[in-house]
Amino acid sequence: MTTPVPAGTKTAEWKPNDKWLLGIVLAVINFWLFAQTLLNVIPGIQGQLGVERTLANLAVSITSLFSGIFIVVAGGLADRIGRVRILYAGIHLSILGSLLIALTPENLGGLTSAMLLGGRIIQGLSAACIMPSSMALVKSYYEGKDRQRALSYWSIGSWGGSGFCALFGGLMASSFLGWRSIFWISIVLSVLALFLLRGTPESRAEADPRAAAHRFDWAGLICFIIMLVAINVYISQGPNIGWLSWTGIVLVTLFAVFLLAFLQIETSKSNAFVDLKLFGNGTFTGATLSNFLLNGAAGTLIVSLGLVQVAAGMSSLQSGLLTLGYLIAILATIRVGEKLLQRFGPKKPMLWGSIITGIGILMCSMTFLLIGQYIVLSVIGFTLFGIGLGFYATPSTDAALSNVPDGQVGAASGIYKMASSLGNAIGVAISAALYVAAQAVDPGLIRSWGLFIGRQDNVALRFGGAVGLLFNVLLVLIAIAAIIVTVPSQRPKEEEEARPDVVPPPPIGN
């Protein structure tokens, strides 16, 4: 049994090496590269599995939803009972979730749905465990430039995986190995990660005597889970169950009731699950809100890639190739965003990044064009999307975390990361729901506008795609407004003087 090591210290007997760091990167990438492939793969396997389109969309969004709900809880547990223990738990959950999805049977109704959704929920819990514990271990066992290098690899594992997932998923699904091979490979790499991480000394935060006096806010967590699951199910299943059906009304009522209960609980407790007092800081609020909204723009991927597969008959590999520029751009510009932050402060690069992202998504929304024209615009649009996020990521993280008191940085970081996952989940759910719902508009009415050129037999499908994609443009516009209103143009002078040598933390808004 290993001896726990307080944060920021290392044992004399053990030091991290590149193999250990590779294990950390594999643990992180197992979520971003493998679990997120469903954004591109689901349109092609939905019919094969025999599940409703709305349930398939729920399967895509529910992973990020559960990651977002539990990431703060898992981070707190990692600090208290051990980061290595929580990291290992996350990797084992990743294996279990991937196994359930890989073994999901076809056309067996409830069993197929249960295994698919169950596997996706477990993958979300896995990410909630792995992300905060792996970052905490890197910060604990590296110092100075070595820590900066390690955190860069950590970021590449998350951002690189998210950028490569559509292409990788399409490649595997189109190969003789089939889409299930994605999750078998994930299992193999999870086992390899466990092997590379073996022998890691335990690390946990120094005991806080004040924390011992408070019980965990279970009431707040339960209300949070119920309200978010209810609204996510309503959004994703709305086209199927009916927006104004009794089931839909019950789900909205559950959301409203438990939202009010959650706010009441969190404002009255000193040990609140989510410290709402942090939102009294305007800069933190603006950075976190814009982070939520820009992560919500991930709905662009599920709509645009699904549209070209259905409307143009593209394979998942061909549609994934449209995002190659996104992958290259986001990896190439993350460090550019860091340099822009150092020169201009956070507001300008956050705005520039958001504007570029919005232009990119707008280009992907031009579904009224001929398919050849749309493909060209999509390639350019996804590349701009990646450039914009690369510019935005580090300045946003710095704006959120450098403007809160030192004693609240941990809680602020947890909320910021939670906003990332929840934004992804809600954005994907709403975009997919609008994409499906808007297809019910009378094709004759759409044709009467004279806007859609080329084929006229699929105008309803293309109109649905435009509605789903333009919703993401709206999210970016709201993010831009939030940044303009809340983020100061320059850091306060006293902060600049107090933090001259601080290197911004890696982007965690992925």
Per-residue pLDDT of 213-227, as tens digits, reads 557 788 888 999 999
CA distance 142 to 139: 6
Q: What DSSP line would sit under 338-383, residue for residue?
A: HHHHHHH-SHHHHHHHHHHHHHHHHHHT-TTS-HHHHHHHHHHHHH
CA distance 23 to 358: 35
pLDDT computed for residue 29 by the predictor: 86
pLDDT computed for residue 499 by the predictor: 46
pLDDT computed for residue 214 by the predictor: 58
Using CA atoms, how far residue 434 sits from 114, 115, 235, 458, in Å, is 25, 26, 9, 16
pLDDT computed for residue 10 by the predictor: 47
Low-confidence ranges of the chain (pLDDT < 50): 1-12, 212, 493-509
- Do 476 and 293 touch, CB atoms closer than 8 A? yes
The tokens describing 126, both together, are 């896995």
| Amino acid sitting at position 300 | T
For 388, residues 6+ apart whose C-beta sits below 8 A from its C-beta are 352, 353, 354, 355, 356, 357, 358, 359, 360
User: What pTM does this model have?
Assistant: 0.81
- Do 301 and 323 touch, CB atoms closer than 8 A? yes
- pLDDT digit string, tens, across residues 107-156: 898 899 999 999 999 999 998 899 888 878 887 788 777 776 776 677 77
Residue owning tokens 């280009």: 363
- Do 413 and 37 touch, CB atoms closer than 8 A? no
